């Protein structure tokens, strides 16, 4: 029995637009993000969906609503789909992080699997949470088609797990753009 997951990154937020490392900061959707939502709703207009799960953050939930525009399904807010908890660096610019946390900035660029976010999660914790959340969603929806709306850090960890089989795969893992859609069976 095949379960199909549409893994969808949220639309552009104000934080994405201004180059902020948002983490769980609940930034509003940008003007470009609003346009992305309109196009995404059309992308899913004729797709069969049995369920929709979303991170509770506004940028993700608004994206889930766009996916759901022509379906009328309940949207399950799922804390497991939240972006990385980056603690003290939440909503800072990359240049601020480089100045205040040079080792963390270096790891982010060269060895993201080694990142430990002060006051937040370690990347190893994020990697485990991602695996557990996806496994749970699959187990709750055997043989169904499910839209899963989440964040770039979550998806990058999922890609590292699937393609490379370990958290170290983050060093080679792809970056997924706003409103990207990936299919996982």
Catalytic residues: 10, 151
Beta strands 181-184; 51-54: pairing state: unpaired
Percent composition of the chain: helix, strand, coil (DSSP 3-state, to 5): 50, 15, 35
Which region, left, alpha or beta, applies to residue 179 given φ > 0 means left and ψ of -120 to 50 means alpha? Answer: left
- Between the alpha carbon of residue 3 and those of residues 55, 113, 134, the distances in Å are 20, 29, 11
Which two three-digit tokens encode residue 144? Answer: 């169904």
Calpha distance 170→166 (Å, rounded): 8
User: For residue 86, what are the contacts with CB-CB under 8 A and spacing of at least 6?
Assistant: 21, 23, 24, 117, 120, 121
Q: What number of other Cβ atoms are within 10 A of residue 53's Cβ?
A: 24
């Amino acid at each position: 029995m095949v379960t199909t997951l549409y893994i969808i990154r949220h639309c552009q937020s104000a934080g994405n637009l201004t180059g902020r490392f948002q983490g769980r900061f609940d930034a509003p959707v940008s003007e470009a993000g609003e346009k992305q939502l309109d196009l995404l709703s059309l992308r899913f207009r004729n797709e069969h969906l049995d369920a929709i799960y979303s991170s509770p953050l506004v940028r993700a939930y608004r994206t889930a609503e766009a996916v759901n525009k022509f379906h009328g399904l309940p949207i399950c807010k799922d804390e497991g789909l939240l972006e990385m908890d980056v603690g003290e660096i939440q909503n800072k610019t990359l240049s601020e992080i480089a100045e205040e946390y040079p080792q963390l900035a270096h790891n982010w660029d060269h060895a993201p699997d080694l990142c430990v976010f002060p006051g937040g999660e370690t990347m190893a914790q994020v990697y485990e949470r991602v695996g557990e959340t996806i496994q749970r969603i699959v187990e709750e929806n055997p043989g169904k088609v499910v839209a899963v709306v989440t964040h770039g850090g979550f998806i990058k960890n999922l890609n590292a797990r699937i393609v490379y089989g370990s958290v170290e795969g983050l060093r080679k893992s792809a970056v997924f753009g706003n409103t990207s859609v990936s299919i996982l069976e």
